[in-house]
Structure 1
């Protein structure tokens, strides 16, 4: 009986050690993942501006959805100029200008980029700072670049996103790609093909000039 009790106590102690190690390892991996994301944010903030060329895909096999497009974006702080699917979107820090050449139409609206849940170009390098659980995931060698993936799990259970995978180039500390998986099965992939910094942009690059569009219908939404 004493031998049986000893074996039970020994097993319990071993289990506790294993659980403690598992918890410690998980905590360390989470801290390591957050530290890498912090390095990415710090690197991004060190640039005066960023110019990207990218590929963007949205897919959901259950609904036969598949869209693929290429675009480019220039960023400076919260301001950006985004070109995708034939549409130009300018955010000057207070208003959003959506320019649609095909329809010769422009919509103008006030937009609070800080308080909106929309994943805008300006937020792509900072949205992960709060509201997520961080997991150190797989690493891959892609075209000679070591890409480390960080998995994000939303803390808010009502969030429609299931998880986000961010691929980070360990040498440059730049984001290589981003995969967002929604609970309904929709997968959104954003891959950066060209990453340039501190480009010689004009001082009016992020300013909407109405005189450039004399024949356009302008829809002021507010």
Structure 2
């Protein structure tokens, strides 16, 4: 099954000296974001996901919702139909309980099951708030002002060269200390942009939010890749 994932980032020429000069500033900003995020139990965000396909020069825009338990690796990401008459209809979900990851494609009536560590080759959307803590180099590149709001810009580069993406650019709301967007450039050349539209802390959700119930989806083929 061809699944949609959140990737991206354009390689920039940054010298070792620049990393040495900016690294501490980037870490200080990211620590503030992480501390605020971890103060909440469950965070729910509505987002806009844009895929810029360089091969066929097309752009796809999709809306979605992610529910994350901040102190664990549990999350549920839902992508909605692009049809304006059915824009609240879920077409794909990525769910994990911290050990197992389910990728459900409604149209194909298929769910792929992976161990979380096998799925880590791809970008984990739950990592957006804390990803810098392990496996990334980071640099503060300055600030940008959009619609009167100031955003701090930080580039993350994965230390694992086998990742399918090679850089992520975070834009952080300077006042709110929250992630505003993550721009990722895939090694294929495609660009992916994840923009957070809402950030709702401490929402109440049932525990089964973070598991996939095959019995509740009759006719769905389970492809176990563990």
SS at match of 1:112: helix
Higher helix share: 1
Alignment of structure 1 residues 55-74 onto 2, 5 Å: 55-61=48-54, 63-74=56-67
Structure 2 partner of 1:82:
77
Equivalent residue for 2:99?
94
- Going from structure 1 to structure 2, the CA distance change for 1:112 and 1:130 (only over 3 Å counts) comes to closer
Alpha carbon RMSD of aligned pairs, Å?
Answer: 2.8
Q: 1:66 to 1:24 in 2, by over 3 A?
A: closer
> Are 1:35 and 2:35 an aligned pair?
no
Cα displacement (A) at 1:153: 4.1
Q: Which runs of 5 or more residues in structure 1 are unaligned?
A: 1-22
SS in 2 for 1:208: coil
Alpha-carbon distance between aligned partners in 2 of 1:143 and 1:37, rounded to the nearest angstrom:
23
Q: Deviations over 1:180-201 (max 9, x none)?
A: 2345543221111111111011
Matched, 1:216 2:220: yes
Per the alignment, do residues 117 and 38 of structure 1 end up closer, same or farther by CA in structure 2, a change over 3 Å counting?
Answer: farther
**Which stretch shifts more, 180-189 or 117-126?**
180-189
1:123 aligns with 2:127: yes
The normalised TM-score by structure 1 is 0.75
Distance in 1 (alpha carbons) for counterparts of 2:31 and 2:206: 30
Q: Give the 3 Å change call, closer, same or farther, for CA 123–153 of structure 1 in structure 2.
A: closer
Aligned length: 199
State the secondary structure of the residue aligned to 1:37: helix
- Asked if 1:175 corresponds to 2:179, the answer is yes
Whichever of the two has the greater Rg, that structure is 1
Question: Contact conserved, 1:75 with 1:121, CA < 8 A, in 2?
Answer: no
Select which of 105, 108, 111 maps to 1:103. 108
Classify 1:162/1:219 alpha carbon distance in 2 versus 1 (closer, same or farther; 3 Å).
closer
- Contact 2:50 2:193 (8 Å CA) reproduced: yes
Question: Normalization by structure 2: what TM-score?
Answer: 0.74
Name the CA shift for 1:134/1:219 in 2 (closer, same or farther; >3 Å).
closer
Flag the structure with more relative contact order, 1 or 2, with Cα contacts below 8 A and sequence separation at least 6.
2
Residue of structure 1 aligned with 2:153, choices 128, 149, 153 = 149
